[in-house]
Each structure stands twice: as C-alpha cells, then as structure tokens.
Amino acid sequence: MVLETNAPLEHFTVREISKPSGSYSHGVVVHGFLFTCGVGPLDPLTGLIVGEEITAQTRQVFENLSQILKAKNVDFSRVVKLTAYLQNLTEDFTAYDSVCREFLLTPYPARTTTGASLPNILVEIDCIVAL
C-alpha cells in the first residue's frame, strides 16, 4: 500500500466539550483515520474536573471522547488503538479497566496504559479511530 505523502488533513474541534487549553485540535483526520487529542475529565459546561476518583474521571473522559467521535459519525466500535495515561497506574488500573469495559466492546482495540504525571487529573486518553 502506498500512502500519499501530501494527503489532505482535516483538523477540527467540537463545541460539545471544553475548548483545547493549548495549541492542539480535538481531532485530525487523515488517510481514513481519526486521531484524537488526549482528553481529560473536564465537564464540558463548567470546564471543571469531574470527580475525585478514577471511576468518575474515566467515565467523563469517555463521554468527552464520544463527542469527538460523534462529530465524525463513528462510535467506540471503530477505535483501533487507545492510549491511556494514569496518574496512579498500580492503584487505579483495575477500576479504570472496568470503566473501559462499559464503553469498549469485544473485540477490544489495541491499548497501551501507562503511568504519567498529570496536572490535577487522574486519567487522560487518546485514540485512533478507523473511519
């Protein structure tokens, strides 16, 4: 398969979640794939962090991601790769994984989950989605 090197890129943001806090888009589409930004657990109306524990924060992240996917008429069944960053990897993995199972159905996408130093949040997730 030969990929066009100058393929068109579509950068976009959605109104249904908090505005990007830095120099990035919510999503970029290229070659039939959607690449999302890393999404945190911010309430789209208030911009405040939702919940103080991993379960509530992970649910909010998935709700926010769903708005990005919805903008391109896809859902979590089209996710091919998910990358998650957890503030407390060892302590929070099991609860985080149980919330993932609420949103992701088998066959599950490829996934990487790693520990990270996150500013005031417990989880951030980005994904690659086949359109």
Average pLDDT, the chain: 96
Per-residue pLDDT, averaged over 99-119, amounts to 97
Structure tokens at 52: 């103080």
The CATH fold assigned to 27-130 is: 60s Ribosomal Protein L30; Chain: A; (3.30.1330)
Confidence band, pLDDT 50/70/90 cuts, at residue 46: very high
Per-residue pLDDT, averaged over 79-103, amounts to 98
* Strand stretches in the chain, DSSP E: 10-12, 27-30, 33-36, 79-86, 110-115, 123-130
Q: What pLDDT, on a 0 to 100 scale, did the predictor assign at position 1?
A: 65
Q: What angle do CA 60, 68, 13 make, to 5 degrees?
A: 115
* pLDDT at 4 exceeding the cut of 70: no
Percent of the chain with pLDDT over 70: 97
